[in-house]
Amino acid sequence: MRTALRAGLGALAVLAALSVSDLWAVTERSSRRAGFGVSRLTIPVEACDFIEREGLEGHAFANWDAGSYYAFRFAPKSLPCTTSEGDWNLENLAEYDRVTRLVDPFDGYAERYGIEIAVLMHQSSDTRPLIGDLLENPRWGLAWRDGCAVVFVRREGPNADKVRRLAPEGRLPAAPAAGEGTPGGLWPFGEGARRVEAVRAYRNGSLLALTSEPAQQVFWDRARALWPGYPEAHNNAGVWLASRGDSAAESEFREAVRVAPRYVPARRNLARWMLGRGDEGGAVHELEAGLLAGESADLCVDLAELLVARGDTASIERARGLVGRALKARPGHAGARKLAERLR
């Protein structure tokens, strides 16, 4: 009995040490840290604070991840179009999907539902195309941006006077500060704080990438300095360097796949970089290495396309097998389905 009690107390002590020291952040490769409160990196707290502070009126288009918190802050005076906990039918979800994929125009959706504000978490895959579209839409102004979310406001309607002040045409809101120094105390007690700041820097860099602002590189550098094993930061730094034809891009992509062999975006970018340099064999090798690390429909399709381009019978047969693997992993994969049609 005493042995079991000691073992239980020992396990609790280990869990307490992991939590208090933020070692969860180290073991999970995440930005989690010990403490109480709301994560401002995953919930649009600052964006909602801005809306409340400025007294913006009207209902909001909030992406799936942001809607529940927006409703918590502003319902019933202002309601989001979707929440992760809402009672939505398939028609509502189909509308949301068409708008975020830019199949249907956002202006028509906003008019139909009386939307005056758009709160979009810019790290969500379902919002980045829409953010890019709204940045080019003269009817909407970007009034706020932070490491988690952006706020667009319709230029006409109840907020017209405010949006002229908050989002003058042709000018973006001030970019977030990159920050300085290294937060936290001695390792491991400050590791969680450093991870949080690294994620914040990474997300701000991603935000600036949407508007093609060169300052994004400052954020990639800070993210990598705070968290050297942060694959997303290495990958995005590589994308930025590659867009400028800088050969240092390859080392960033390679570092990303070294620390995270299953991180598909970096593997694909490395293959594209090599292909752009005329090294088709190297691109094939990297895609094959990625598939050895873990199954991926995207990698299967990328590799199949390279094999199809070779044109020989053996390569075509192998490409068919890869397309089958891709469709098994993701039956609705558009690229795989299109390639399957070509190979019939």
Q: What are the tens digits of pLDDT across the range 180-227?
A: 554 444 444 566 677 778 888 888 888 888 877 778 888 888 888 888
- Report the percentage of the chain scoring pLDDT > 90: 47
Task: Give the CA distances from residue 87 to residues 81, 90, 93, in Å, rounded to whole numbers and listed in that order.
Answer: 11, 10, 10
Strand ranges, E, within 211-344: none
Phi, psi of 117 (to 5 degrees): -135, 145
Structure tokens at 248: 């240092």
Angle separating helix axes 264-276 and 297-310, nearest 10 degrees: 20
Q: Report pLDDT for 20.
A: 52
Mean model confidence pLDDT for the chain: 84
Q: Report pLDDT for 194.
A: 78
Q: 127 vs 85, which has greater pLDDT?
A: 127
Task: Give the CA distances from residue 274 to residues 45, 237, 278, in Å, rounded to whole numbers and listed in that order.
Answer: 41, 16, 6
pLDDT surpasses 50 at 84: yes
How far apart, in whole angstroms, are the C-alpha atoms of residue 333 and residue 344?
17
Q: Report pLDDT for 16.
A: 60
Q: Write out the residue limits of the CATH 1.25.40.10 domain(s) in the chain.
A: 192-342
Q: Report pLDDT for 111.
A: 92
Q: Which long-range contacts (CB under 8 A, 24 or more apart) does 204-209 make?
A: 204/146, 204/147, 204/175, 204/176, 204/178, 205/233, 205/236, 206/122, 206/123, 206/236, 207/122, 207/145, 207/147, 207/150, 207/176, 208/175, 209/236, 209/239, 209/240
pLDDT surpasses 90 at 75: no
Q: pLDDT band at 66, cuts 50/70/90?
A: confident
- Report the percentage of the chain scoring pLDDT > 70: 82
pLDDT surpasses 60 at 170: yes
Q: Report pLDDT for 35.
A: 59
Phi, psi of 333 (to 5 degrees): -60, 115
* Paired strand residues for 278: none
Phi, psi of 266 (to 5 degrees): -70, -40
Q: pLDDT band at 14, cuts 50/70/90?
A: low
Q: Report pLDDT for 207.
A: 83
Q: Strand, helix or coil at 141?
A: strand
Q: 337 vs 179, which has greater pLDDT?
A: 337
Q: Report pLDDT for 191.
A: 67
The whole-angstrom distance between residue 178's C-alpha and the CA centroid of its chain comes to 19
Q: 174 vs 104, which has greater pLDDT?
A: 104
Mean pLDDT, rounded, for 254-274: 94
Radius of gyration of the chain (CA): 23
CB 296 within 8 A of CB 271: no
DSSP state of 80: B
Q: 196 vs 315, which has greater pLDDT?
A: 315
192-342, superfamily in CATH?
A: Tetratricopeptide repeat domain (1.25.40.10)
